[in-house]
Amino acid sequence: MSQGAPMTHKFIVGTIAILLGGYVTYKAGSDFQFVKFEPHSPEEVARRKREKIPTRMEVLESATLDLTPEAKERIGKKMLLKQSQEQHVEKERMKRQLEQESSSPK
């Protein structure tokens, strides 16, 4: 009776899959900058404990997850290239449409 792939093959394929997954995660994460953490001052922490103010999470304007400048530049170049290709295709389509209109008898 057939058992399928040998255990060594499963181990090798699993190892390759884990390594590739880690690499893809690393490459995808390298385009982002980390959020800047702004802790409270020790005086603020002591005051909050004294006044029994509960912990509250606030999103500040300064705390953003943004693309790195290199990633922004790379993505911007891709978008410009795509826009120029779309404009070229649109011009060609309009040109063909005008040629068809001028060549067709009315």
Q: What is the pLDDT of residues 9-57, one digit of tens each?
A: 999 999 999 999 999 998 888 777 665 667 778 888 888 888 888 877 6
Same domain for 95 and 53:
yes
Residue type, 27: K
Same domain for 43 and 66:
yes
Same domain for 78 and 44:
yes
CB contact at 8 A, 66 and 33:
yes
pTM for this prediction: 0.41
Widest distance between CA atoms in the chain: 90
Same domain for 44 and 66:
yes
Same domain for 36 and 14:
no
Same domain for 65 and 26:
no
Which has the minimum average pLDDT: 37-41, 45-49, 63-67, 82-86? 63-67
Range of the domain at 22: 1-30
Same domain for 61 and 37:
yes
Give CA–CA dist 96/85, Å, rounded.
Answer: 17
CA distances from 49 to 1, 17, 40, 59, 62 (A): 69, 48, 12, 21, 25
> What are the DSSP calls for 12-34, one per residue?
HHHHHHHHHHHHHHHHHHTTBPP
Q: Domain count of the chain?
A: 2
Same domain for 92 and 44:
yes
Give CA–CA dist 45/41, Å, rounded.
Answer: 6
Same domain for 96 and 46:
yes
Same domain for 51 and 11:
no
